[in-house]
Amino acid sequence: MKFNDYIFIFTIFTIISFAILPITTQNYFTYYDIPTVNASKSTPTIFDIINYSDNKIILRIIRPDLSIPSEEGLLWLDKYLSLRTIYPDGKVVPIDIKLDIQDFNFCLTNEVYGIGSPIKIYPIRSKFLLVTYAEAADLNDPFTYIEKAMVIDLNGNIYGNTTFKSTYVDVVTNQWLPDQAGIFVNYNSYKGFLRVIPITNTSDFGFERYEVTGDGNILFLVQDILNFKESLSLMLTAIPMVDGRYAIVYANSTDSEVTSIIPQEGLYILILEYDKETEREPAVLYQTTIHGLKFTDINCDVSYVGIGQVCIVTGEYTIGAVKETIYFKFDFLSCGTAYNFKPLKIQTNPLIEYYAVQLLPYGGYLLSGIGSVDNITIVYGYVFNDDGEVYSWNLPNIVESNVIAGSTILRNNTFVLARVGEKPRWALITTELHKFNEDRDHGYNNFHIASTTPSIDDMIPSDLEFLNIKYYNKVELSNGNITIFQDDGNIRQTTSGINGRYVSYGDDTTIKVAILKSTFNQPGRRYYVSIDNNSVKDKIYQEPLYGVNDHVWSFTTTQTETEISSDDVMGQVRLTPEGTSYFLYEADREVFLMKLKRELADAIPVNPNRITTNEGFEIDTSVSQKQIFLSIDIKKMETEQERSVSLAIMDLDSLIKNKPITVIASGESTSYLDEDYGYKTLPNWRKTYGSALLGIFAITLVLICFFFYAKRKNADAKNTVIFQLGIIIFDVIMDITFIITKAKNIEALYIPSILFTIGPFIISVIIAFVIIKKEEKMREFFEWSRENKKVVDVFTVLAGSEVELLTILESKVIIGGNIVGRLYRFRDYKRVVYESADNDESNVKKEP
């Protein structure tokens, strides 16, 4: 249970605005707080300090509402949720949120366990806060209370809310009290949180698990209701573990006066899945037959320097009139095995009433104690470790705090404590605590990583092939992802530790991540690698290790010389069988293609205008299942900073071929692309057409010469016919290319097109031959043709090519059995576009 919960504050309501003894240290942070709303003129007090992602600290500020007459044990507050976000540079962003909830949520109560507040806030999903509150149909009937939570962001926007499964009512006092439930945010905060609550009128506890979705909704996942036999005292806490599960550690004990034969009191551990009911029995960590031992506090956390979790247990040992407080620590693994039990020696201070021991990120512990002198809350503390080394906490001993004595320890070992500010200020004091394992801190915020290549802030070449991560201990790959991002947060590649294709071992302690060609494709750009929790496990202990956060392991690609600009290119991608059927029968094709273009441009990344598509498609007949090609063209770059066409082709192919690990897999349209095909360019028809034209021009030139030659020989003959040769030759070339490159993709067309090309060709040759033979009968022609035998032969063959495919192709052809396609043939491009019969004809884009 939380440190604060054990503070008994008797005088808080009288000392809210007492004067503060000034203390001059450099790490004293004070803020002149002007609320953004019409708040009460009372002194702002820090109620809660939250260590938020990306090194932000969030404070919850409360202001007593002076207009409400004070009542014994109650303190009414301004009805705003007032948050102050402190950024690493010291900037403070205030926000006062008006929540549409009942007024009693803004009333603090003085309870035996400390200060009660229905509103509690927890950081979740790196951009949200979870806010708990309560609702009552009848304030005087404890059984009408329900507890709820809502999700807000740091700008005060409100997202989803939920009603929790149960609310606890003490049937002895017949009271509903705030703070009866504990909320534990998952170690992977996208996995939600656990709520632990005693069940009214039973010795059961409910363990409710919820998820908070990316759009801020709260979903109930599962709950366990577990029985904890009637014991005199039950001390229970939950620890979110690195692998996303929760460990419940609890201690129970019976009355010290009663001797029972069977040992019953002890320490137990129970592992809960984050989204499944548990079927496991608790494991025994420690059991004793010795009576008189009562556990009063358990404080556990993931160990940043060691393996697994660490718990610090406080117990009271009473024999007769002698009462002794004992402290010990132990480590446990996520399988439920505990080891390394060690007693801890605490140096006490006569002014201090309550002590707490907290684990420090760099190893060792912070002991802090709270007391009260002349109505001023005082705090005492020091740092120590298992070996009994003791260090000062670099603050005066003792130091004054505000009544709440809110504090937190940041990941960089900085201790933050709330103080009382001079009206209208609030104040904080911070101190950097002794770092026991500083030599293992290489800037990754991860004490398991010895080094990486590239290292933080390196310059890397764009064609880097591997990332290497060297750990201190022997490691094994696990299922968390290792993701490479561009500095703006766009994913370049993401691979799971157990995906052998991309992640492998260097040696026992090193893992290697293969880099795709497309990953670091922007020169002079910053990238970062984020390592999920549980991407690797410690090999010996089989314990998941925590990862590396965003923007920590960053480096920059070197500037490369600008490339020579290349021309536009045409190419195609293939849809998977599912993608094909989705595209043909379900999708709005226009929307699909629009998204496809956009997603591909973002994936490379290039300016979206550079990716184009004509809206046609073709069937791929080389595969057994029905799959279609979509044309994707890449336009040449407009500025030299952009990715050249040739590199963009390579990137696109690499991105699609490695789809499972790139953004292609997560795009709405791109997820339907076939990774076996990638991106292939097509011969550029404009170029082919160009060279064909050039050929025709040459031939025509030859023919003109030939024409003049023939005219000189015989001025009466119909020599203009020679000019038709140019057109005819072009037609032959195009027909043959069409059959070779295109018609073969359309099974049903292949045979007919061959028949319709070759058949009439042969017939025409025969007819031409017959005609020419007949003409030969005319003497002049006969003589001319005798003299020009070669010309006649050419005519004979070319006459056969006067085959009008168009008329044949425009007839209806049945393709694949269910599409009655209409085929268009465009003489210049000869790209084939067909559509199902029920489709609007205007969808077919006719190319120039």
Ligand X SMILES: *[C@@H]1O[C@H](CO)[C@@H](O)[C@H](O)[C@H]1NC(C)=O
Identity of the residue, 85 or 161, whose beta carbon is nearer to ligand X in the bound complex? 161
Residues 454 and 558: beta-carbon distance below 8 Å = no
Min separation Cβ 235 and ligand X, Å? 11
482 touching ligand X, by CB under 6 A: no
231 binds ligand X (CB under 6 A): yes
Q: In this structure, what DSSP letter does residue 604 have?
A: T
Q: Where are the alpha helices (DSSP H) in 388-428?
A: none
CB of 497 to ligand X, least distance (A): 29
Q: Which residues contact 289 (CB under 8 A, 6 or more apart)?
A: 263
278 binds ligand X (CB under 6 A): no
Among 30, 109, 414, 621, binds ligand X (CB under 6 A): 414
CA-closest candidate to residue 390, choices 448, 347, 427 = 347
The C-alpha atoms of residue 133 and residue 178 are separated, in whole angstroms, by 9
Does 646 participate in binding ligand X (rule CB under 6 A)?
no
Other CB atoms within a 10 A radius of the CB of residue 62 amount to: 25
Q: Are 291 and 332 in contact (CB under 8 A)?
A: no
Asked whether 595 and 611 are in contact (CB, 8 A), the reply is no
In the shown chain, the binding pattern of residues 590 to 629 toward ligand X, with x for contact by CB under 6 A and - for none, equals ----------------------------------------
Q: Is 93 in the site for ligand X (CB under 6 A)?
A: no
Q: To the nearest whole angstrom, how small is the minimum distance from the Cβ of residue 316 to ligand X? A: 16
Amino acid present at 410 = L
| Cβ partners under 8 Å of residue 750, min gap 6 | 739, 743, 744
Residues 6+ apart with CB under 8 A from 680: 571, 572, 653
Q: Please tell me whether the peptide bond between 424 and the residue prior to it is cis, using omega within 30 degrees of 0.
A: yes
Residue 72 binding ligand X, by CB under 6 A: no
Are 197 and 168 within 8 A, CB to CB?
yes
Chosen residue from 412, 490, 558, 609 binding ligand X by CB under 6 A: 412
**For residues 270 and 722, which CB has a smaller minimum distance to ligand X in the complex?**
270
DSSP-assigned letters across all residues of 511-530? EEEEPPTTTT-STT-EEEEE
CB of 17 to ligand X, least distance (A): 22
Q: Is 505 helix (H, G, I), strand (E, B) or coil?
A: strand
For position 283 contacting ligand X by CB under 6 A, the verdict is no
Q: Applying CB under 6 A, does 264 fall inside the site for ligand X? A: yes
Distance in Å, CB of 234 to ligand X, minimum? 7
Which residue number has the CB closest to ligand X?
55
Examine residue 360 and tell whether it contacts ligand X (CB under 6 A): no
CA distance 809 to 807: 6
What residues between 164 and 193 interact with ligand X by CB under 6 A? 171
CB of 178 to ligand X, least distance (A): 17
Q: Quick one: 88 or 214, whose CB is closer to ligand X?
A: 88
The answer to whether residue 424 forms part of the interface with ligand X (CB under 6 A) is no
- According to DSSP, the β-strands at 548-557 and 459-460 are parallel
Q: What is the x/- site pattern for ligand X, positions 305-334, by CB under 6 A?
A: ------------------------------
Cβ of residue 449: shortest distance to ligand X, in angstroms?
Answer: 19
| CA-based nearest residue to 122, from 170, 183, 202, 179 | 183
Only segment of 105-113, 260-268, 594-602, 769-777 that touches ligand X (CB under 6 A): 260-268
- The SS3 assignment for 594 reads helix
Site membership for ligand X, residue 88 (CB under 6 A): yes
Tokens of 708: 């003049």
Cα three-residue angle 650-486-551, rounded to 5 degrees: 150
What the block records as the tokens of 555 is 């480096």
Site stretch for ligand X (CB under 6 A), options 262-270, 371-379, 453-461, 675-683: 262-270
Q: By C-beta, is 161 or 684 nearer to ligand X?
A: 161
Binding mask 13-32 for ligand X (x = CB under 6 A): --------------------
Q: Is 158 in the site for ligand X (CB under 6 A)?
A: yes
Q: CB of 480: closest distance to ligand X in angstroms?
A: 25
Judged by CB under 6 A, the stretch of 322-330, 406-414, 637-645, 684-692 that binds ligand X is 406-414
Token reading at 298: 């358990």
Query: From start to end of 454-525, where are the E strands?
Result: 459-460, 466-471, 475-477, 481-486, 491-496, 503-507, 510-514
| Nearest alpha-carbon partner for 162 in 97, 212, 122 | 212
Which CB, 39 or 832, lies closer to ligand X? 39
Pairing outcome for strands 74-76 and 611-612: unpaired
Applying CB under 6 A, does 229 fall inside the site for ligand X?
A: yes
Residue 103 in contact with ligand X, rule: CB under 6 A: no
Give the interface with ligand X as residue ranges (CB under 6 A). Answer: 37-38, 55, 88, 100-101, 150, 158, 161, 171, 201, 229, 231, 252, 254, 264-265, 268, 282, 410, 412, 414, 432
